[in-house]
Protein backbone atom coordinates (compact mmCIF):
# COMPACT_ATOMS: atom_id res chain seq x y z
CA UNK A 1 0.00 0.00 0.00
CA UNK A 2 3.01 2.32 0.19
CA UNK A 3 4.86 3.00 -3.03
CA UNK A 4 8.01 5.03 -3.57
CA UNK A 5 8.92 6.83 -6.74
CA UNK A 6 12.46 8.18 -6.91
CA UNK A 7 12.91 11.71 -8.20
CA UNK A 8 15.89 13.02 -10.09
CA UNK A 9 17.15 16.53 -9.52
CA UNK A 10 17.94 18.04 -12.88
CA UNK A 11 19.49 21.31 -13.86
CA UNK A 12 17.23 24.32 -13.39
CA UNK A 13 15.81 25.77 -16.56
CA UNK A 14 17.13 29.12 -15.40
CA UNK A 15 20.63 27.65 -15.47
CA UNK A 16 20.10 25.92 -18.82
CA UNK A 17 18.98 29.19 -20.43
CA UNK A 18 21.81 31.12 -18.79
CA UNK A 19 24.38 28.66 -20.16
CA UNK A 20 22.89 28.97 -23.64
CA UNK A 21 22.89 32.75 -23.27
CA UNK A 22 19.11 32.72 -23.79
CA UNK A 23 17.96 33.87 -20.37
CA UNK A 24 17.85 37.57 -21.10
CA UNK A 25 16.02 36.97 -24.37
CA UNK A 26 13.56 34.72 -22.60
CA UNK A 27 12.70 37.35 -20.02
CA UNK A 28 12.31 39.97 -22.74
CA UNK A 29 9.79 37.79 -24.58
CA UNK A 30 7.98 36.27 -21.61
CA UNK A 31 6.78 38.21 -18.65
CA UNK A 32 5.82 35.84 -15.92
CA UNK A 33 4.60 36.04 -12.38
CA UNK A 34 4.68 32.83 -10.40
CA UNK A 35 1.74 34.03 -8.32
CA UNK A 36 -0.46 34.28 -11.41
CA UNK A 37 -1.04 30.54 -11.22
CA UNK A 38 -3.14 30.95 -8.10
CA UNK A 39 -6.29 32.92 -8.93
CA UNK A 40 -8.19 31.29 -6.08
CA UNK A 41 -5.50 32.00 -3.53
CA UNK A 42 -7.65 34.35 -1.45
CA UNK A 43 -11.26 33.77 -2.52
CA UNK A 44 -12.65 36.09 0.12
CA UNK A 45 -10.03 38.75 -0.23
CA UNK A 46 -8.58 37.73 3.09
CA UNK A 47 -4.88 37.29 2.68
CA UNK B 1 -12.58 22.29 -24.02
CA UNK B 2 -11.36 22.85 -20.48
CA UNK B 3 -8.73 25.34 -19.50
CA UNK B 4 -6.38 24.97 -16.58
CA UNK B 5 -4.16 27.95 -15.77
CA UNK B 6 -0.65 26.82 -15.01
CA UNK B 7 2.59 28.67 -14.83
CA UNK B 8 6.15 27.78 -14.27
CA UNK B 9 8.85 29.69 -12.49
CA UNK B 10 11.87 28.45 -14.46
CA UNK B 11 13.13 26.51 -11.49
CA UNK B 12 11.45 23.16 -12.08
CA UNK B 13 14.05 20.56 -11.47
CA UNK B 14 12.70 17.46 -9.72
CA UNK B 15 11.08 14.85 -11.87
CA UNK B 16 10.39 11.14 -11.93
CA UNK B 17 9.62 8.46 -14.47
CA UNK B 18 6.18 7.05 -15.16
CA UNK B 19 4.99 4.87 -18.00
CA UNK B 20 1.86 4.93 -20.12
CA UNK B 21 0.39 2.25 -22.35
CA UNK B 22 0.87 -1.42 -23.19
CA UNK B 23 3.74 -2.08 -23.70
CA UNK B 24 4.84 0.82 -21.48
CA UNK B 25 6.20 4.04 -22.92
CA UNK B 26 8.34 5.95 -20.41
CA UNK B 27 8.14 9.68 -19.60
CA UNK B 28 9.83 12.04 -17.19
CA UNK B 29 7.22 14.13 -15.43
CA UNK B 30 7.19 16.87 -12.85
CA UNK B 31 4.92 16.08 -9.92
CA UNK B 32 3.03 19.34 -9.51
CA UNK B 33 0.90 20.04 -6.44
CA UNK B 34 -0.41 23.16 -8.18
CA UNK B 35 -2.33 21.37 -10.95
CA UNK B 36 -4.30 18.18 -11.31
CA UNK B 37 -3.97 16.94 -14.88
CA UNK B 38 -1.51 14.50 -16.42
CA UNK B 39 -0.21 15.23 -19.89
CA UNK B 40 2.71 14.16 -22.07
CA UNK B 41 3.76 15.04 -25.64
CA UNK B 42 2.26 12.98 -28.44
CA UNK B 43 3.62 11.89 -31.80
CA UNK B 44 0.97 14.09 -33.40
CA UNK B 45 2.74 17.19 -32.11
CA UNK B 46 5.03 18.92 -34.62
CA UNK B 47 6.25 21.54 -32.14
CA UNK B 48 9.98 21.65 -31.41
CA UNK B 49 9.22 21.18 -27.72
CA UNK B 50 7.56 17.85 -28.50
CA UNK B 51 10.15 16.74 -31.01
CA UNK B 52 12.92 17.17 -28.45
CA UNK B 53 11.14 15.03 -25.85
CA UNK B 54 9.63 11.58 -25.47
CA UNK B 55 6.34 11.41 -27.38
CA UNK B 56 3.46 9.04 -26.69
CA UNK B 57 2.40 6.96 -29.67
CA UNK B 58 -1.20 5.76 -29.18
CA UNK B 59 -0.92 3.35 -32.09
CA UNK B 60 1.74 1.41 -30.20
CA UNK B 61 -0.46 0.84 -27.15
CA UNK B 62 -3.02 -1.95 -27.13
CA UNK B 63 -4.84 -0.45 -24.15
CA UNK B 64 -5.20 3.11 -25.47
CA UNK B 65 -8.67 4.56 -26.07
CA UNK B 66 -9.38 7.95 -27.55
CA UNK B 67 -12.17 10.09 -26.13
CA UNK B 68 -12.71 12.74 -28.77
CA UNK B 69 -12.22 15.42 -26.11
CA UNK B 70 -9.71 18.22 -26.37
CA UNK B 71 -7.62 19.88 -23.72
CA UNK B 72 -5.89 23.24 -23.51
CA UNK B 73 -3.57 24.23 -20.70
CA UNK B 74 -2.32 27.79 -20.61
CA UNK B 75 0.96 28.75 -19.05
CA UNK B 76 2.37 32.13 -18.32
CA UNK B 77 5.22 31.27 -20.62
CA UNK B 78 3.34 29.34 -23.28
CA UNK B 79 0.69 26.70 -23.56
CA UNK B 80 -0.07 23.16 -24.51
CA UNK B 81 -3.00 22.01 -26.61
CA UNK B 82 -4.00 18.45 -27.12
CA UNK B 83 -6.46 15.64 -26.97
CA UNK B 84 -7.65 13.48 -24.09
CA UNK B 85 -7.08 9.74 -24.18
CA UNK B 86 -7.32 6.87 -21.78
CA UNK B 87 -4.69 4.27 -21.02
CA UNK B 88 -2.89 2.39 -18.28
CA UNK B 89 -0.55 4.67 -16.31
CA UNK B 90 2.12 3.05 -14.17
CA UNK B 91 3.52 5.14 -11.32
CA UNK B 92 6.32 3.24 -9.61
CA UNK B 93 4.67 -0.13 -8.90
CA UNK B 94 1.12 1.24 -9.02
CA UNK B 95 -0.92 0.34 -12.09
CA UNK B 96 -3.65 2.88 -12.77
CA UNK B 97 -5.98 1.53 -15.44
CA UNK B 98 -8.25 3.59 -17.69
CA UNK B 99 -6.59 6.84 -16.67
CA UNK B 100 -7.61 9.89 -18.67
CA UNK B 101 -4.66 12.06 -19.67
CA UNK B 102 -3.67 14.75 -22.13
CA UNK B 103 -1.64 14.14 -25.29
CA UNK B 104 -0.21 17.41 -26.49
CA UNK B 105 -0.58 18.16 -30.17
CA UNK B 106 0.99 21.61 -29.89
CA UNK B 107 3.40 23.16 -27.40
CA UNK B 108 3.96 26.72 -28.66
CA UNK B 109 6.79 28.83 -27.34
CA UNK B 110 10.28 28.11 -26.08
CA UNK B 111 9.66 27.06 -22.51
CA UNK B 112 9.18 23.34 -23.00
CA UNK B 113 11.95 23.15 -25.58
CA UNK B 114 14.61 23.54 -22.91
CA UNK B 115 13.17 21.70 -19.91
CA UNK B 116 14.45 18.24 -19.09
CA UNK B 117 11.08 16.68 -18.31
CA UNK B 118 8.50 15.56 -20.86
CA UNK B 119 5.19 16.27 -19.14
CA UNK B 120 3.43 17.12 -15.92
CA UNK B 121 1.53 14.97 -13.44
CA UNK B 122 -0.72 17.07 -11.23
CA UNK B 123 -1.19 16.12 -7.58
CA UNK B 124 -3.65 18.89 -6.70
CA UNK B 125 -7.31 18.49 -5.81
CA UNK B 126 -9.79 17.23 -8.46
CA UNK B 127 -11.49 20.62 -8.81
CA UNK B 128 -8.42 21.89 -10.66
CA UNK B 129 -8.54 19.11 -13.24
CA UNK B 130 -10.07 19.55 -16.67
CA UNK B 131 -13.78 18.76 -16.73
CA UNK B 132 -14.54 15.08 -16.41
CA UNK B 133 -10.99 13.99 -15.72
CA UNK B 134 -10.21 12.23 -12.46
CA UNK B 135 -6.63 12.93 -11.39
CA UNK B 136 -4.11 10.12 -11.16
CA UNK B 137 -3.91 10.24 -7.36
CA UNK B 138 -7.70 10.06 -6.98
CA UNK B 139 -7.83 7.07 -9.29
CA UNK B 140 -5.14 5.32 -7.25
CA UNK B 141 -7.26 5.90 -4.15
CA UNK B 142 -10.48 4.87 -5.89
CA UNK B 143 -8.84 1.63 -7.02
CA UNK B 144 -7.79 0.95 -3.41
CA UNK B 145 -4.13 0.84 -4.37
CA UNK B 146 -2.91 3.00 -1.48
CA UNK B 147 -2.66 2.21 2.22
CA UNK B 148 -3.56 5.78 3.18
CA UNK B 149 -5.15 8.63 1.26
CA UNK B 150 -2.03 10.79 1.26
CA UNK B 151 1.35 11.26 -0.35
CA UNK B 152 4.56 12.70 0.98
CA UNK B 153 7.66 14.28 -0.50
CA UNK B 154 11.32 14.30 0.44
CA UNK B 155 13.63 16.47 -1.63
CA UNK B 156 17.39 16.04 -1.50
CA UNK B 157 19.99 18.61 -2.47
CA UNK B 158 21.72 15.89 -4.46
CA UNK B 159 20.83 14.74 -7.96
CA UNK B 160 19.46 11.48 -6.59
CA UNK B 161 17.75 10.50 -3.35
CA UNK B 162 14.55 12.52 -3.62
CA UNK B 163 11.28 10.64 -3.33
CA UNK B 164 7.53 10.87 -3.70
CA UNK B 165 5.86 8.34 -1.42
CA UNK B 166 2.32 7.39 -2.35
CA UNK B 167 0.08 6.09 0.40
CA UNK B 168 2.34 6.59 3.37
CA UNK B 169 4.96 8.39 5.42
CA UNK B 170 8.58 7.28 5.72
CA UNK B 171 9.94 8.13 9.16
CA UNK B 172 13.51 7.68 7.99
CA UNK B 173 13.21 10.97 6.11
CA UNK B 174 12.43 13.24 9.07
CA UNK B 175 13.11 13.85 12.72
CA UNK B 176 10.88 15.24 15.46
CA UNK B 177 7.16 15.75 15.40
CA UNK B 178 4.89 16.26 12.41
CA UNK B 179 2.99 19.53 12.62
CA UNK B 180 -0.36 19.38 10.84
CA UNK B 181 -1.81 22.45 9.11
CA UNK B 182 -5.38 22.61 7.74
CA UNK B 183 -5.69 23.22 4.01
CA UNK B 184 -7.34 26.63 3.59
CA UNK B 185 -8.22 26.16 -0.07
CA UNK B 186 -8.75 22.67 -1.46
CA UNK B 187 -7.23 23.10 -4.87
CA UNK B 188 -3.59 24.10 -4.75
CA UNK B 189 -2.86 22.71 -1.27
CA UNK B 190 -3.08 26.24 0.03
CA UNK B 191 -2.35 26.83 3.71
CA UNK B 192 -2.46 30.07 5.68
CA UNK B 193 0.76 31.57 6.95
CA UNK B 194 0.78 33.65 10.12
CA UNK B 195 3.71 35.76 9.02
CA UNK B 196 7.28 35.58 7.90
CA UNK B 197 9.84 37.03 10.22
CA UNK B 198 12.72 38.84 8.58
CA UNK B 199 11.01 39.17 5.19
CA UNK B 200 8.14 41.12 6.73
CA UNK B 201 10.32 43.27 8.94
CA UNK B 202 13.61 43.33 7.10
CA UNK B 203 17.05 43.74 8.47
CA UNK B 204 17.11 47.50 8.15
CA UNK B 205 13.53 48.11 9.18
CA UNK B 206 13.04 50.47 6.28
CA UNK B 207 11.29 49.72 3.04
CA UNK B 208 10.97 46.39 1.34
CA UNK B 209 13.72 43.99 2.38
CA UNK B 210 15.61 43.28 -0.84
CA UNK B 211 16.69 39.78 0.07
CA UNK B 212 13.15 38.40 0.13
CA UNK B 213 11.66 40.37 -2.73
CA UNK B 214 13.79 39.27 -5.65
CA UNK B 215 16.56 36.96 -6.63
CA UNK B 216 19.66 38.80 -5.51
CA UNK B 217 23.35 38.26 -5.79
CA UNK B 218 24.87 37.69 -2.39
CA UNK B 219 28.47 37.44 -1.30
CA UNK B 220 29.15 33.71 -0.97
CA UNK B 221 31.49 34.24 1.96
CA UNK B 222 28.88 36.13 3.93
CA UNK B 223 26.23 33.39 3.76
CA UNK B 224 27.18 31.82 7.12
CA UNK B 225 26.50 35.17 8.79
CA UNK B 226 23.15 35.73 7.12
CA UNK B 227 20.00 35.26 9.23
CA UNK B 228 17.41 32.51 9.02
CA UNK B 229 14.10 33.33 7.40
CA UNK B 230 11.41 32.12 9.77
CA UNK B 231 8.00 31.22 8.41
CA UNK B 232 5.28 31.00 11.08
CA UNK B 233 2.47 28.66 10.12
CA UNK B 234 -0.36 27.79 12.49
CA UNK B 235 1.68 29.14 15.38
CA UNK B 236 4.75 27.02 14.64
CA UNK B 237 8.05 28.49 13.50
CA UNK B 238 9.74 27.01 10.44
CA UNK B 239 13.23 28.48 10.10
CA UNK B 240 15.04 28.24 6.77
CA UNK B 241 18.76 28.86 7.00
CA UNK B 242 20.75 31.06 4.64
CA UNK B 243 22.54 27.96 3.42
CA UNK B 244 19.14 26.60 2.34
CA UNK B 245 17.77 29.76 0.73
CA UNK B 246 20.91 30.61 -1.24
CA UNK B 247 22.64 28.74 -4.00
CA UNK B 248 25.85 28.87 -5.95
CA UNK B 249 25.26 29.46 -9.65
CA UNK B 250 27.49 28.99 -12.66
CA UNK B 251 30.51 31.22 -12.48
CA UNK B 252 30.85 30.70 -8.75
CA UNK B 253 28.66 33.58 -7.61
CA UNK B 254 25.84 33.10 -5.10
CA UNK B 255 22.20 34.12 -5.20
CA UNK B 256 19.30 34.14 -2.81
CA UNK B 257 16.46 31.99 -4.08
CA UNK B 258 13.47 34.15 -3.24
CA UNK B 259 11.29 35.38 -6.03
CA UNK B 260 8.61 38.02 -6.32
CA UNK B 261 4.96 37.00 -6.49
CA UNK B 262 1.79 38.98 -6.88
CA UNK B 263 -0.14 39.63 -3.70
CA UNK B 264 0.42 38.23 -0.26
CA UNK B 265 1.47 34.85 -1.50
CA UNK B 266 4.37 32.58 -0.77
CA UNK B 267 4.96 29.45 -2.79
CA UNK B 268 6.82 27.07 -0.51
CA UNK B 269 8.69 25.25 -3.21
CA UNK B 270 11.90 23.26 -3.42
CA UNK B 271 13.82 25.52 -1.01
CA UNK B 272 11.27 24.93 1.76
CA UNK B 273 10.54 21.28 1.07
CA UNK B 274 14.25 20.40 1.11
CA UNK B 275 14.21 21.58 4.74
CA UNK B 276 10.77 20.24 5.71
CA UNK B 277 9.52 16.79 4.74
CA UNK B 278 6.00 17.44 3.46
CA UNK B 279 2.90 15.29 3.76
CA UNK B 280 -0.16 16.00 1.63
CA UNK B 281 -3.05 14.39 3.47
CA UNK B 282 -6.18 14.22 1.32
CA UNK B 283 -8.08 12.13 3.90
CA UNK B 284 -7.98 14.95 6.44
CA UNK B 285 -7.35 17.94 4.13
CA UNK B 286 -4.19 18.94 5.91
CA UNK B 287 -0.50 19.37 5.23
CA UNK B 288 2.08 17.86 7.56
CA UNK B 289 5.54 19.35 7.97
CA UNK B 290 8.49 17.82 9.80
CA UNK B 291 12.22 18.57 9.88
CA UNK B 292 13.75 16.67 6.96
> Could A36 and B114 be called an inter-chain contact, meaning their C-beta atoms sit closer than 8 Å?
no
Spatial separation of the C-alpha atoms in residues B49 and B113, rounded to whole Å? 4
User: Are A5 and B92 within 8 A, CB to CB?
Assistant: yes
Of residues A45 and A37, more confidence is placed in A37
pLDDT at A44: 44
User: Which of chain A's residues have a Cβ under 8 Å away from the Cβ of B165?
Assistant: 2-5
* The pLDDT value given to residue B199: 67
pLDDT tens digits for range B75-102: 556 578 999 999 999 998 899 999 999 9
**What is the phi/psi pair of residue B213, to 5°?**
-100, -25
Q: Which pLDDT score is estimated for B7?
A: 39
- Cβ-proximal residues to B150 (8 Å cutoff; 6+ apart), any chain: B167, B168, B169, B279, B280, B281, B282, B283
pLDDT per residue as tens digits for the range A25-39: 877 776 666 565 565
Residue A18: predicted pLDDT = 82
- Give the model's confidence band at B18: pLDDT under 50 very low, under 70 low, under 90 confident, else very high: very high
Instruction: Work out the pLDDT band at B56, boundaries 50, 70, 90.
Output: very high
Predicted confidence (pLDDT) per residue in B191-248, tens digit: 998 876 666 555 444 444 455 655 677 889 988 988 888 889 999 999 999 999 888 8
Chain B residues near residue A21 by CB distance under 8 angstroms: none
Q: Name the percent of chain B lying above pLDDT 90.
A: 57
What pairing do the DSSP bridges indicate for beta strands B276-281 and B229-233?
A: unpaired
Amino acid sequence: GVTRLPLERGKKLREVLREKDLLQQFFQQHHYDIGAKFPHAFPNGTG
Amino acid sequence: VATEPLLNALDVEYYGTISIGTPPQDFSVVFDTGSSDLWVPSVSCPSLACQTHQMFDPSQSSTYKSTGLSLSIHYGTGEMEGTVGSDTVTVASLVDTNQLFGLSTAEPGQFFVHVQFDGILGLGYPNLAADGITPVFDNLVNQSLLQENLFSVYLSREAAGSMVIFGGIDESYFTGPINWIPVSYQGYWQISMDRDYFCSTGVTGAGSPPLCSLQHSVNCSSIPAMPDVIFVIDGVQYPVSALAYTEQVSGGSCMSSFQDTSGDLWILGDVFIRVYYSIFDRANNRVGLAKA
